[in-house]
Amino acid sequence: MPTLKGKAVVAQSGGPTAVINSSAAGVIQTCLDHRDIFTGVYGSLNGILGTLKEELFDLSAEDPAQIDRLKRSPSSALGSCRHKLKDLEADRADYERILEVFKAHDIRYFFYIGGNDSMDTAAKLGKLARETDYEMIAMGVPKTIDNDLACTDHCPGYGSVARYSAISVKESGRDTDALYTHDTCTIHEVMGRNAGWIAASTGLAKRREQDAPHIILLPEVPFVVDKFVEDVQRCLKDYNRCFITCGEGVRTPDGEYLADAGGQFVKDSFGHAQLGGAGQAVRAIVESHVGVKARTNLPGTMQRVAMHFASRTDVEEAYLAGQAAATAAMEGVSGKMITLVRGEDSGQYVCTTGLADLEDVANGEKMLPPEFIDANGTGVTDAFIEYARPLIRGAASLDMGDDGLPMYAQLERTPIAALTAPWR
């Protein structure tokens, strides 16, 4: 089969991460190195929305230094979206619109960097293209801080949020230690709506039994108030302090998010429901049921774009995934997501890439497995540490500015003239 020639579109979707731009750089630089195959390299502004709206921009017109700097720049430089396309039947007009735009520009390669919704979109687009005999290649590049994508050992984005979460808990745990003249409690809420991978990563901060975090609340382990209160009381008895990591997706035994259910636990003492997330609910429980003052840390969006303490391993693997997607596409591979495959060389962790069907990723979700959770349900096992530690290794490099802060990439986003009638 002769190699398919045509333009390539790169798009980013979902929540930003520290390394999603590194994946984009991997795709873009590989495509630009093969202009005989890729007759143009476009960015789709704000994920798939940019294609629907025909808001494309010319990545070959960007300063190559800025493209290279994407490896060292957090957040989604191509713009992101939360736009989810439904089934081919339900949203057929949108999928057809995308193909209309692709055909108009002779776009033959579509690279979607995102989570399982993005893989779903890429899969369905590829399917419609086949059905309608439009020759094109759709490839997925994994991205999520949550680390819950199926078929891959881990996800680009996770190593960096894990590294940042671990340092944040190591440092604020020392803060809690310093004021131990009275019982004190700190609650540190991390992201992870369904899976506890990020919460678990704070366990990397613990070198000694007395170190923070003392309690890790995971979405995988139902939150039982009485048991939690006993755990906190025991910790305070032992150490006069208690540092709690709270995953935002922690649920009650009924499956309700603690963030939503929080009010019921604190009505007795405060007389009204509690606003705020899981961390605020846990704080209210500590103050009302244990009677100890508690502080809350909410890293919020800071945690997912903390390039300044990103993992070099993660940055490199993110790039590798992008590069592998472009390389596989040139070889005619389509309908696949690049996976990260863990290996070992002379006892050292190594990472290579593999391929998974987009459909398998789209329909899967990977929770923290039982063997990574300790017997009490509030900590991680050595097996988890062994899994996670290689992923946070090394400091990512930064281009520092004269003002003492990093220089992050700014793309010009030179628009490509529209060739179709406006969408909708």
Where along the sequence are the contacts to a second copy (CB under 8 A)?
12, 16, 46, 49, 73-77, 79-83, 163, 166-168, 170-172, 174-181, 186, 204-205, 207, 270, 272-276, 280, 284, 295-302, 304-309, 311, 389, 392-394, 403-406, 408
Separation of CA 14 from chain center: 8
List all residues 6 or more positions away from 373 whose beta carbon is below 8 Å from its beta carbon. Answer: 196, 200, 218, 220, 221, 379, 380, 381, 384
Give yes or no: 146 in active site: yes
Q: How far is the CB of 276 from a second copy (least distance, A)?
A: 6
Alpha-carbon distance of 299 to 328, in angstroms, equals 37
Q: How far is the CB of 225 from a second copy (least distance, A)?
A: 18
Please identify which residue in the block is written with the tokens 């078929």: 151
Q: Which is nearer to a second copy, 220 or 248 (CB)?
A: 248
Please identify which residue in the block is written with the tokens 């997912």: 304
Q: How far is the CB of 73 from a second copy (least distance, A)?
A: 8
List all residues 6 or more positions away from 117 whose beta carbon is below 8 Å from its beta carbon. Answer: 13, 14, 84, 362
Q: Which is nearer to a second copy, 163 or 336 (CB)?
A: 163
The count of other CB atoms within 10 Å of the CB of residue 399 is: 14
Residues paired with residue 251 on neighbouring β-strands, in sequence order: 257
CA geometry: angle 10, 13, 17, nearest 5 deg: 105
Q: How far is the CB of 409 from a second copy (least distance, A)?
A: 10
Q: How far is the CB of 263 from a second copy (least distance, A)?
A: 10
Sign of the CA dihedral 317, 323, 326, 332?
A: negative
Q: How far is the CB of 1 from a second copy (least distance, A)?
A: 37
- Provide the pairing of β-strand 6-12 with 107-114: parallel
List phi, psi (to 5°) of 122.
-65, -40
Contact status, residue 161 vs residue 303, Cβ threshold 8 Å: yes
Query: Which DSSP string corresponds to 174-232?
Result: HHHHHTTTS-EEEEEEE--SS--HHHHHGGGG-SSTTSSPSEEE-TTS---HHHHHHHH
Q: Which is nearer to a second copy, 273 or 341 (CB)?
A: 273
Q: How far is the CB of 114 from a second copy (least distance, A)?
A: 12
Alpha-carbon distance of 16 to 157, in angstroms, equals 9
Q: Which is nearer to a second copy, 263 or 364 (CB)?
A: 263
The count of other CB atoms within 10 Å of the CB of residue 150 is: 17
List all residues 6 or more positions away from 114 whose beta carbon is below 8 Å from its beta carbon. Answer: 11, 12, 13, 14, 47, 140, 141, 143, 144
Q: Which is nearer to a second copy, 71 or 108 (CB)?
A: 71
Closest to 203 (Cα-Cα) out of 378, 376, 370: 378
- Tokens representing residue 350 in the block: 């190594």
Q: Which is nearer to a second copy, 273 or 328 (CB)?
A: 273
Sign of the CA dihedral 374, 301, 284, 295?
A: positive
Candidate list 120, 146, 148, 314, residue with the active-site label: 146
Q: Which is nearer to a second copy, 126 or 247 (CB)?
A: 247
Q: Which is nearer to a second copy, 136 or 166 (CB)?
A: 166
Q: How far is the CB of 403 from a second copy (least distance, A)?
A: 6
Q: Which residues are the active-site residues?
A: 146
